[in-house]
């Protein structure tokens, strides 16, 4: 297991290196000159001279390869550069906003688990009954709801009509409820369907018949013998999706004015804020790869067959 983890970490470093090159090149390929954007936004006429001196200031006059080496060298010393627009170190900006995004994403995941697990299990156990049809109908509706529309509906009902819950900004736990629910509902629908399908497949397996032949109650059969087997594909899907989730809270952050990373990055894109963009992509890549590694490790814990393949 230790060797396996070590190997995964080496892979991770290689992947991160390749991503750093891609990120750097892509951000340079975006049309538009950051020097010009900065000058315009601070109200200065972008004359040839002013642009030149701004470019020199930002280090953009260097050859691209040098810029990359410079940037990479900085990263190795945990220096991701300064934002072109705010002038503060990028790493600070990200660390400042990341907790808000993480909090929202995690809360969304909690909502997702709380809704999808009971729904998926009930749907599978009571297959083709009224309960199952209702669950599947709700899942279909939930998956089809665009999140911005659901968000607006929730704001209207809970904020405007009844003022039961705060709808803007971050602060108390109550602030979290609406955005987390908006984020979690769509995912819950998808996971409920996934869990139902997996459970139904597992419930047809021979070892489930064995469990029943032992005299186990239906509850023990489903929750002990079937669920653990049905979870494997769900965990994989979740591992992939959690990365998307962190990167995909942009719309919800905008609707609920949530001071997270998503909003910040959208602004950075408009401002051609290279250091912020590069650091963000690199950061998200790290999150993705780390989560995938974690999922692989969890997989080994859940399914002993995978763990023994690794040993060999």
Quick check: 123 and 196 in contact, CB under 8 A? Answer: yes
In angstroms, rounded to a whole number, what is the distance separating the alpha carbons of residues 277 and 80? 11
Q: Is 311 in the site for other proteins (CB under 8 A)?
A: no
**Closer Cβ to other proteins, 48 or 311, answer by number:** 311
Q: Which is nearer to other proteins, 174 or 209 (CB)?
A: 209
Residue closer to other proteins, measured from CB, 57 or 217: 217
Our CB check for other proteins shows the closer of 63 and 304 to be 304
Site for other proteins in 186-215 (CB under 8 A): 204-207, 209-215
Q: Write down the least CB distance from residue 244 to other proteins, Å.
A: 28
Judged by CB, which is closer to other proteins: 165, or 216?
216
224-243: which residues touch other proteins (CB under 8 A)? Answer: 225, 228-229
Rounded to the nearest angstrom, the gap between the alpha carbon of residue 176 and the centroid of all alpha carbons in its chain is 17
Q: Does 88 bind other proteins (CB under 8 A)?
A: no
For residues 300 and 102, what is the distance between their CA atoms, to the nearest angstrom? 26
User: Is 217 a residue that touches other proteins (CB under 8 A)?
Assistant: yes
Q: By CB under 8 A, is residue 87 in contact with other proteins?
A: no
> Smaller CB distance to other proteins: residue 194 or 211?
211
| 127 in contact with other proteins (CB under 8 A) | yes
**Widest Cα–Cα separation across the chain:** 85
Please state the closest distance from residue 209 (CB atom) to other proteins, in A. 6
Helices (H), ranges, 30-63: 34-41, 48-58
- Quick note: the x/- pattern for other proteins over 134-173, rule CB under 8 A, is ----------------------------------------
Secondary structure E strands in the chain: none
Sort 303 into a burial class: Cβ within 10 Å, 0-12 / 13-18 / 19+.
middle
Instruction: Please state, in angstroms and rounded to a whole number, the distance separating the CA atoms of residues 9 and 285.
Output: 14
> What does the alpha-carbon distance between residue 166 and residue 190 come to, in Å, rounded to a whole number?
27
Torsion over CA of 187, 192, 198 and 202, rounded to 10 degrees?
150
Helix (H) or strand (E) holding 122: helix 90-125
One character per residue 93-112, x = contact with other proteins (rule: CB under 8 A): --------------------
**At its nearest, how many Å lie between other proteins and the CB of residue 296?**
16
Q: Which is nearer to other proteins, 220 or 294 (CB)?
A: 220
Complete DSSP assignment for 267-298:
HHHHTT-HHHHHHHHHHHHHHHHHHHHHHHHH
Residues near other proteins (CB under 8 A) are 127, 204-207, 209-218, 225, 228-229, 302-305, 308
């Amino acid at each position: 297991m230790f060797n396996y983890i070590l190997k995964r970490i080496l892979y991770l470093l290689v992947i991160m290196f390749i991503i750093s090159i891609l990120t750097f090149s892509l951000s340079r390929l975006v049309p538009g000159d950051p020097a010009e954007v900065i000058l315009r936004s601070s109200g200065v006429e972008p004359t040839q001279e002013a642009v030149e001196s701004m470019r020199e200031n930002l280090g953009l006059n260097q050859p691209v390869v040098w810029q990359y080496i410079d940037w990479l060298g900085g990263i190795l010393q945990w220096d991701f550069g300064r934002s072109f627009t705010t002038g503060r170190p990028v790493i600070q900006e990200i660390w400042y906003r990341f907790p808000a995004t993480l909090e929202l994403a995690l809360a969304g995941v909690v909502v997702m688990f709380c809704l999808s697990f009971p729904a998926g299990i009930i749907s599978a156990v009571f297959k083709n009954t009224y309960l199952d049809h209702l669950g599947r109908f709700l899942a279909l509706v939930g998956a089809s709801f665009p999140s911005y529309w659901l968000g607006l509906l929730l704001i209207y009902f809970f904020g405007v009509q009844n003022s039961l819950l705060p709808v803007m900004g971050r602060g108390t736990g109550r602030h979290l409820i609406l955005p987390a629910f908006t984020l979690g509902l769509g995912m819950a629908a998808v996971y409920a369907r996934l869990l139902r399908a997996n459970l139904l497949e597992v419930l047809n397996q021979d070892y489930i018949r064995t469990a029943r032949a032992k005299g186990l109650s239906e509850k023990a059969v489903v929750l002990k013998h079937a669920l653990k087997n049905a979870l494997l594909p769900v965990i994989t899907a979740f591992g992939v999706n959690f990365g998307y989730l962190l990167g995909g809270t942009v719309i919800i952050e905008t609707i609920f004015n949530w001071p997270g990373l998503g909003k910040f990055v959208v602004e950075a894109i408009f401002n051609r804020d290279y250091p912020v963009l590069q650091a963000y992509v690199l950061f998200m890549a790290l999150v993705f790869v780390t989560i995938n590694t974690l999922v692989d490790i969890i997989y080994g814990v859940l399914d002993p067959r995978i763990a023994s393949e690794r040993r060999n």
